[in-house]
A and B are shown apart, each in its own frame.
Chain A
Amino acid sequence: MSVEGAKIVPSHHLDSLFRADRLPHILCPGCGIGPAMHCFAQAMLDSGIPLERHVCVSGIGCTGRVAGYVNVDSYHTTHGRAIPFALGISVVRPDLKVTVFSGDGDLISIGGNHFIHAARRNINLNVICVNNFNYGMTGGQAGPTTPLGAKAATAPYGNAERPFSLPYLAAAVGATFVARWTALHVRQLKEAMVRAMKKKGFTFIEVLAPCPTGFGRPNNIGDGLEEMERYRSRCVVNHRAALHELDLDLRRIDQPFILGNFVDIDRPHFRPPVIEQGPAAEFGRDDRSADGGGAAMEGAP
């Protein structure tokens, strides 16, 4: 058998999952959003759910741009409002698999109220949150996940605030599946996404990701590779970790980053109330029993 080096080719085997005519994307070298998006595309394939039934909704920010690259029905909405926008789709089309793919600032700061209420309601929605510890798109400002003491464009003397632990928050407000992985743990991340897609209800996956431009540089992390190296050397997988012990501080070398699929429970997901009277069939909605939530569109007046 002849053995060759790398072959140069014009297209990637996953190109049909992306709007390949828009590649390369706008994200910086060393950014962790690319691997997370890559895992999402692979997870959509592996989920067995036809691509026509996947919908991706995002808000604003670097991660928010993901909706513009994945080749499924995709909505790039207002800052913080991806979850309620996705709620609307999920409620009226319960047959669709709706994923909100956005960043920590978008989902947890400006969109934090929607996040906690969507989880409380247990909306049938998968949320993937790329956490890069800062506002990347606007140039590295501090956000709700910036570690205490870390430097940021709006925290030049070090961040004075304690950050959220996202898995702890998500579990507390009612998410039925809660996981944390990193942009390096691509296999586990992809598998977690597939598991989330196969669940009913509100799921949450945090993806720790390097932002060498916004977060790495002011915090002496060098490039994306160096942050990925920190993930490699310091991450500990513990699916049964106590949720209140999942705090993160990239800068402290004595503290491990705990990863895992921490929560996987079942509870009834949100369905708009229906009462059994009135001529529902008149409007073609007798097929809602398949899932029980929302109105089917066929035969709408």
Chain B
Amino acid sequence: MTTRRPVNWTSAKIPQGQVYVLPERCKGCRFCIEFCPKKVLAESGSINAKGYHYPVVAPGKEADCVHCRFCDLVCPEFAIFTEERK
């Protein structure tokens, strides 16, 4: 009996992402924070000019982003995106 594994189990590499934020565009909807599959994001302690808490990387999660781009695509304000770290 063998264990099922993806065929690229050894070659596939999980990417690591870098989060970029445009704080002044954020309206604090929290979509990116709540729906990040790796729970990388958290609310900022400070607020932007409109008074919203924008997303930041949660303490200790700096290496956890996998550049899945979900935060990017779900952001209504085009205020967050990720890039793959090389």
Pick the contact of B56 from A6, A30, A32 — CB < 8 Å? A6
CB neighbours of B79 from chain A (8 A): 12
CB neighbours of A30 from chain B (8 A): 27, 29, 31
Q: In the bound complex, do residue A3 and residue B62 qualify as a contact, i.e. CB atoms below 8 Å apart? A: yes
A232 at interface, CB cutoff 8 A: yes
Distance, CA A252 to CA B52, complexed state (A):
32
Q: In the bound complex, do residue A6 and residue B77 qualify as a contact, i.e. CB atoms below 8 Å apart? A: no
A262 → B minimal CB distance (Å): 22
Q: In the bound complex, do residue A29 and residue B29 qualify as a contact, i.e. CB atoms below 8 Å apart? A: yes
Q: In the bound complex, do residue B85 and residue A38 qualify as a contact, i.e. CB atoms below 8 Å apart? A: no
For B, the interface residue count at a CB cutoff of 8 angstroms equals 35
- The interface-forming segment of A17-25, A118-126, A145-153 is A17-25
Pick the contact of B21 from A7, A28, A184 — CB < 8 Å? A7
Pick the contact of B76 from A4, A18, A32, A229 — CB < 8 Å? A32
Pick the contact of A224 from B18, B31, B75, B85 — CB < 8 Å? B31
Q: In the bound complex, do residue B27 and residue A29 qualify as a contact, i.e. CB atoms below 8 Å apart? A: yes
Q: In the bound complex, do residue A1 and residue B23 qualify as a contact, i.e. CB atoms below 8 Å apart? A: no
CB neighbours of A183 from chain B (8 A): 74
Q: In the bound complex, do residue B73 and residue A34 qualify as a contact, i.e. CB atoms below 8 Å apart? A: no
**A190 and B25 contact, Cβ closer than 8 Å, known pairs A6-B55, A12-B79, A18-B78:** no
Distance, CA A229 to CA B74, complexed state (A):
13
B12 at interface, CB cutoff 8 A: no
Distance, CA A7 to CA B83, complexed state (A):
11
A187 at interface, CB cutoff 8 A: yes
Distance, CA A285 to CA B40, complexed state (A):
57
CB neighbours of B34 from chain A (8 A): 225, 228-229
A301 at interface, CB cutoff 8 A: no
CB neighbours of A223 from chain B (8 A): 29
**A24 and B56 contact, Cβ closer than 8 Å, known pairs A5-B62, A9-B20, A15-B78:** no
A160 at interface, CB cutoff 8 A: no
A107 at interface, CB cutoff 8 A: no
Q: In the bound complex, do residue B62 and residue A12 qualify as a contact, i.e. CB atoms below 8 Å apart? A: no
CB neighbours of B29 from chain A (8 A): 29-31, 223-225
A52 → B minimal CB distance (Å): 21
Q: In the bound complex, do residue A5 and residue B19 qualify as a contact, i.e. CB atoms below 8 Å apart? A: yes
Of B30, B41, B78, which is in contact with the most chain A CB atoms at under 10 Å from its CB? B78
A11 at interface, CB cutoff 8 A: yes
A169 at interface, CB cutoff 8 A: no
Distance, CA A125 to CA B61, complexed state (A):
44
**A12 and B78 contact, Cβ closer than 8 Å, known pairs A7-B21, A30-B29:** yes
**What are 15 pairs between A and B in contact, CB < 8 Å?**
A8-B22, A11-B22, A12-B22, A12-B81, A23-B25, A30-B27, A31-B76, A34-B78, A35-B73, A35-B75, A38-B76, A38-B78, A186-B73, A186-B74, A228-B31
- Chain A residues close to B by CB (< 8 Å): 1, 3-15, 18, 23-25, 27-35, 37-39, 42, 183-184, 186-187, 190, 223-225, 228-229, 232
